[in-house]
């Protein structure tokens, strides 16, 4: 199971990330672009994900992943049930979502610095 407290250090370690609470929902974003957000009850973690790949992800593990609400289908977004996410998978999803909202050079420099 993954919680906001598990995600927070991962997200905040990524350059340019800020945390916000908007309408009782925790969100992590770069400038105005949200890349991870939790439902109010923290049972769902939404995250940026390539639109063309999201149906395949949801179909691969429908007990874990689900499409966003109809109103949010226009965004590059998927949701995961926090009760069935593990820590390693969460780290990968958060990191990949972050790369979708930062300039490519920022992501490259960050990952290059980790390899040093």
Domains, the chain: 4-115 (3.90.1150.30)
Binned at pLDDT 50, 70 and 90, residue 116 comes out as low
pLDDT tens for residues 26-71?
A: 999 999 999 999 999 999 999 999 999 999 999 999 999 999 988 8
Rounded to a whole number of angstroms, the CA Rg of the chain reads: 14
Cα Dmax for the chain: 43
Instruction: Identify whether the C-beta of residue 80 lies closer than 8 Å to the C-beta of residue 49.
Output: no
% pLDDT > 90, the chain: 82
Mean pLDDT of the chain: 94
Q: CB-based contacts of 16: which residues, under 8 Å, 6+ apart?
A: 30, 31, 102, 106
């Amino acid at each position: 199971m993954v919680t906001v407290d598990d995600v927070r250090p991962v997200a905040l370690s990524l350059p340019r990330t800020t945390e916000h609470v908007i309408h009782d929902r925790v969100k992590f974003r770069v400038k105005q672009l949200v890349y991870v957000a939790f439902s109010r009850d923290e049972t769902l973690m939404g995250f940026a994900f390539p639109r063309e790949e999201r149906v395949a992800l949801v179909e691969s593990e429908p007990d874990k992943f689900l499409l966003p609400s109809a109103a949010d289908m226009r965004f590059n977004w998927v949701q995961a049930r926090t009760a069935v996410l593990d820590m390693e998978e969460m780290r990968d999803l958060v990191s990949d979502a972050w790369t979708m909202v930062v300039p490519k050079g920022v992501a490259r420099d960050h990952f290059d610095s980790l390899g040093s």
